[in-house]
Amino acid sequence: MLPMTLAEIAATVGGRIDGDPAVLVTGPAYLDSRRPVDGGLFVALTGARVDGHDHASAAHAVLGTRPTGRPAVLVTDAVVALGRLARHVVATVRPRVAVVTGSHGKTTTKDLLAGLLPGAVATEGNLNNELGVPLTCLRLHRGDRDLVLEAGARGVGHLSYLADLARPHIACVTGLGSAHLGAFGSAALLAEAKGELVEALPAGGVAVLPAEEPRAAAMAARTQADVLTFGRDRGEVSAGEVTLDDLARPAFLLRHDGRTAPVRLALVGVHAVHSALAAAACALAAGQALEDVAHRLTDARPGAAHRLQPRRRADGLLVLDDTYNANPEAALVALQALAHVARQRGGRAVAVLGPMHELGPSSAAAHAAVGRAARSLGVAVLGVGAGADGYGGEWVADQDGATARLQHVGSTDTVLVKASRSVRLDLLVEELLRDAG
C-alpha cells in the first residue's frame, strides 16, 4: 500500500482519528486478525458471529466503526471506507487495469493473465467481491504498471460498483453460463449484470468478449471501447490444431492477425484452451507480442489447487481433484477430461459428484443433464450429499458412504471428484489418496 498516515487515510475516507494521527501505514490492508501485517491496516468488520473490533489488539492500525484501543480511523461503514481508500490508491498509482468476470473460468483466466503481464499486482485466489477487490488494489505501490482483478457479481449493480473502484482499461467476460443463475433470477439479468463491466470502459479501452457465446458477444453494443473477440474456432484470437496428451493437457496454435505461435498448457482439460485464449486476448490488448504470450502460457503452471488437479496414489490410482467449484458447464468439461484420461490409462472412469448450488429453477434439469452426459461418456457416477441424487447414478448421503463405495477402485482407474468447496469433498480426495490397504 502507499505509505499514508492515519490523518491522510481519514481525509480520504471521510473518517475521524482515534489515536495518533501521525501513525504511518506502510503495509497492505487485511481482514484476518490472526495474521497481523507489519505496518498494515486491519479492517475490523462486524459479522454475524465475530466482531473484528474485539480482536484488534495486535494491529498496527485499524479501520473500523468503534474504538479498539489501537490507533484507528473510525467510519460509519468500514466496507464503504475500504472502497474509497482503494479508489484513491488506484487513482494515485494509475496502473493499467484489466478486470476479468464471467460465470465460469474467470479465476483461471485471471491467473494466466497475471503471468502474461510481468510484475502485475493480481487478485489472490478468488477474492473478487466488495472486500477482495479493494484489498487487491491496496497492494499497489508507486511504479506498479499493471493491476489484474477478478470481479464477481451476485446481482445487478455489483460490477458497476467494483469498476468504479478501479476503472478498467481492459475488461474480459469469459462467458455466461448457469453458475449462480439462481441468485440473479434469469439469464437476462445475469447478462445485464456482467455487461456492467464493459459499460465501464472508456473510449480507447478494450472489451475482450467470447465470439462463440451470443449473449456475451452482444455486449459489444454496450461499450464505447474497442472490442477484441476470442474463441476456439472463431474469434480474432483463436486456437488451431488442438490436441490433448494422456492427462488431457492441451496443445494448440495460438492465432491472431494472420500469425500463429505454439502453446502447450500444463492445465488439464480442453476447456483450458478457452481460458488461455481469453488471457491471451487481454495480453495482446495490453500490447504484448504474440510470441511472448505463447511462451508465457506454455510456462504457466496451475494456480489454485483443487481445479482438475491430477493426483496419484502410491498404487497408481489417478484422482482428478476438482473440489474447488461446481456448476453444469464446469462439470461437463471435467467429465470430458475424465473420459479422455481414463481411455488413455485403460481403466475405469468414476465421477464422484457433489450437488451444484445456486442454479434456481433449472437445478433439477441441470443435475439430470450432467448425469446423462456422464453415462454417454462411459463414466460411472456416484452422487454425494443432499441434491446429488439428481444425477441419476449411485447415491450416498455423505463422505463416509462415498469412501465405502470407492473401496473397489484400483491402480489403473481414474476418479474425478467434483464439488463446491462448501461440500468438503476435498477431504474425500485425501482419503482416496492414502495407500490402498
Q: What is the CATH number of the domain that holds 243?
A: 3.40.1190.10
What are the residue ranges in the chain where pLDDT is below 70? 177-185, 435-437
316 residue type, one letter = G
Write down which residue in 258, 274, 299 finishes a domain: 299
Residues 268 and 351 grouped into a single domain: no
Among 131, 54, 51, CA closest to 85: 131
Q: Is residue 86 part of a domain?
A: no
Q: Is residue 423 part of a domain?
A: yes
Residues 229 and 330 grouped into a single domain: no
Residues 218 and 120 grouped into a single domain: yes
pLDDT at 22: 98
Residues 215 and 270 grouped into a single domain: yes
pLDDT at 126: 81
pLDDT at 189: 84
pLDDT tens per residue across span 86-108? 999 999 999 999 999 998 889 99
CB 319 within 8 A of CB 325: no
Q: What is the CATH number of the domain that holds 317?
A: 3.90.190.20
Q: Phi and psi of 318, rounded to 5°?
A: -110, 125
Write down which residue in 239, 271, 299 finishes a domain: 299
- Edge to edge, the sheet with strand 41-43 lists 16-18, 72-74, 61-64, 41-43, 29-30
Among 154, 158, 155, 198, CA closest to 174: 198
Q: What is the CATH number of the domain that holds 30?
A: 3.40.1390.10
Domain that holds residue 41: 4-77
Please count the other Cβ atoms lying within 10 Å of the Cβ belonging to residue 214: 9
Q: Is residue 193 part of a domain?
A: yes
Task: Give the dihedral sign, CA 346/348/352/353.
Answer: positive
Task: Return all residues near 258 (Cβ < 8 A) that are at least 6 apart.
Answer: none
Residues 73 and 105 grouped into a single domain: no
Among 353, 348, 293, 360, CA closest to 322: 353
pLDDT at 360: 83
pLDDT at 301: 87
Q: Is residue 62 part of a domain?
A: yes
* Residue 292 in grid coordinates: 511472448
pLDDT at 179: 52
DSSP annotation of 46: B
Residues 125 and 43 grouped into a single domain: no
Q: Is residue 203 part of a domain?
A: yes
Residues 190 and 120 grouped into a single domain: yes
pLDDT tens per residue across span 178-237? 554 555 557 788 889 899 999 999 999 999 999 999 999 999 999 999 999 999 999 999
CB 72 within 8 A of CB 6: yes
List residues bridging with 171 in a β-sheet: 99, 207
Mean pLDDT of the chain: 94
pLDDT tens per residue across span 402-423? 999 999 999 999 999 998 888 8
- Which residue shows C-alpha cell 447415491? 395
pLDDT at 40: 97
Residues 330 and 358 grouped into a single domain: yes
Residues 324 and 289 grouped into a single domain: no
Residues 284 and 404 grouped into a single domain: no
Beta-strand pair 29-30/61-64: unpaired
Residues 101 and 248 grouped into a single domain: yes
Q: Is residue 383 part of a domain?
A: yes
Per-residue burial over 394-423, b if 16 or more Cβ lie within 10 Å, else e, is bbbeebeebeebbeebeeebbbbbbbbeeb
Residues 295 and 314 grouped into a single domain: no
Q: Is residue 47 part of a domain?
A: yes
Q: Is residue 82 part of a domain?
A: no
Angle between helix 187-199 and 158-165 (nearest 10)? 20
Domain count, the chain: 3
- Beta strands (DSSP E) in 136-202 are 146-150, 170-173
Write down which residue in 299, 333, 361 finishes a domain: 299
pLDDT at 324: 87
Rounded to 10 degrees, what is the CA torsion of 327, 328, 333, 338? 80
